[in-house]
Amino acid sequence: ALQNEKGSSLTSTGALAVRSGAKTGRSPKDKRVVAEPTSEANVWWGPVNIKMSESSFMVNRERAIDYLNVQDRIYVVDSYAGHDATTGRLAVRVVCSRAYHALFMHNMLVRPTEADDDFEPDCIIFNAGCFPANRYIEGMTSSCSVDLHLGRYSKRFQRSWAEFVILGTQYAGEMKKGVLTLMMYKMPLAGLLPLHSSANEDADGNVTVFFGLSGTGKTTLSADPRRMLIGDDEHVWTDTGLFNIEGGCYAKCVGLTEEKEPEIFRAIRFGAVVENVAVDDKRAIDYDDVSITENTRCAYPLEYIPNSKLPAIGGHPNHVILLTCDGYGVLPPVSKLTREQVIYHFISGYTSKMAGTEEGITKPVAAFSACYGQPFLVWHPVKYAVMLAERLEKHKATAWLLNTGWLGGAKGRRCPLKYTRAMVDAIHSGALGAAEFAPDSVFGVMTPKSCPGVPSELLDPAKSWADPAEFHATQSELASLFTKNFEKYKSEVADDVCKQGPKVT
């Protein structure tokens, strides 16, 4: 990258600083899935998975390959999605024109060992993101296109594989999330549950899974120095336990300090990639500078975290924590969920989109993302939610809703990280499970009356508001949004799940 990419440089920590060009976040509206015979009946078609014809895909594929063929230098990375070689991993080949993209995927996927001498790709990514898509091709809406073909068949090789074609965006996260999308489709076919989640493990082998969208604390809470990190973003729950899909971490950098997140801060060293950060004339990174984007990122290998577990495989989860960042400030900071509530809240996937996560988002906005990863789902959300509930029941795991958002409303303050960590510690120790609970009057979830290390008044969201009337009005407003959002799923879920929605007065 230093030799062949203009503008790349080493920072004072040794990490490679790069720019992704005009696109500094994902472009979900430009994602397309080919409607082809082997998968068409399984795909949840709509605004998440927009249909694309085989002919349009082949035009984009030809355009990408033509671009790659005329480059003086291209990069090929062969790695795996998944640490467990016995169940569910996929072989992924990346072909790209930028060295930083190759290093990024070298960090983010599971690198082959000497024993892996029979590499045959299950997926090929043609990343020609430096070259635009043709906007006049049928189905295109811009010069950016991220296209997935789930069943490309080769007569020459007498086999099928998946293919991604990337045009018009150099944001590296498109490759990472493309692999997750493929796993979201492939794993349920084998009876395995893919999860957009982080996971860690204590010394006794007890595993906790954290679900959540970007900005909810998924990476931060899983990077616990007292526990082994299995992974910070993508996993699969199998019949024998859990494995990490990735070989690295992709952490947000905005506001990063060694004091708050020492493991992530120290992982930004030689071999890591920092994307769209500001670097001064002494090569130091300014983590508070968001002049390029608020979605500054760092990609580093999992082993850069000192307490990471390799290979990244764990047992069946003991606790599952659904993370939300409630910008309205009305959800309890922590609550315990029943089986039906897990399905309801997992399908709802409520959070507040944080600034910089996607283009055009400049302040917190209430959002619902099914299964806490709607842009990456391929099957209908109910399929994933029911599979999750069945596994929780079978393995007797507890489920929690943890709100890392605001106290006292949008104009208040975010829940201090030390209290959020204390709640997680109480879940792990069993102290929170043994507490006295009372149902939330509107959302129905069971909220504890006490938690070690947390002021009791903080556990009741109403007590953080100066004006009780304003609190109840805001609470009703959010409840109405929950109800309206769930209408599109009601016909697909059981009545006892529908009844877990908030009671709007």
To the query of whether residue 219 is one of the catalytic residues in this protein, the response is yes
To the query of whether residue 214 is one of the catalytic residues in this protein, the response is yes
CB 102 within 8 A of CB 167: no
CB 168 within 8 A of CB 129: yes
Distance CA 459, CA 273 (A): 39
Out of 218, 252, 309, 319, pick the active-site residue.
218
**CB-count exposure of residue 316 (10 Å: 0-12, 13-18, 19+):** buried
Contacts (Cβ under 8 Å, ≥6 apart) of 106: 77, 79
Q: In this structure, are strands 193-201 and 207-211 parallel, antiparallel, or unpaired?
A: antiparallel
The SS3 call for residue 301 is strand
To the query of whether residue 72 is one of the catalytic residues in this protein, the response is no
Out of 20, 219, 348, 351, pick the active-site residue.
219
CB 387 within 8 A of CB 307: no
To the query of whether residue 391 is one of the catalytic residues in this protein, the response is no
CB 441 within 8 A of CB 433: no
User: Which of 247, 242, 245, 251 lies closest to 223 in space, CA to CA?
Assistant: 251
To the query of whether residue 177 is one of the catalytic residues in this protein, the response is yes
Amino acid at 297: R
Out of 89, 235, 297, 353, pick the active-site residue.
297
> Of how many residues is the chain composed?
505
Structure tokens at 364: 């917190």
Out of 224, 233, 326, 440, pick the active-site residue.
233
Structure tokens at 304: 């850069």
Out of 63, 106, 196, 336, pick the active-site residue.
196
Tokens 């609970």 appear where?
Answer: 437
To the query of whether residue 421 is one of the catalytic residues in this protein, the response is no
To the query of whether residue 159 is one of the catalytic residues in this protein, the response is no
Tokens 């917190």 appear where?
Answer: 364
User: Which of 335, 351, 354, 344 lies closest to 399 in space, CA to CA?
Assistant: 335
Out of 169, 214, 222, 474, pick the active-site residue.
214
Order of all β-strands in the sheet with 248-252: 9-10, 16-18, 273-275, 297-301, 248-252
The SS3 call for residue 240 is coil
Amino acid at 62: E
Out of 32, 63, 149, 177, pick the active-site residue.
177
Amino acid at 46: G
Out of 20, 23, 26, 220, pick the active-site residue.
26
Active-site amino acid positions: 26, 177, 196, 214, 218-219, 233, 297
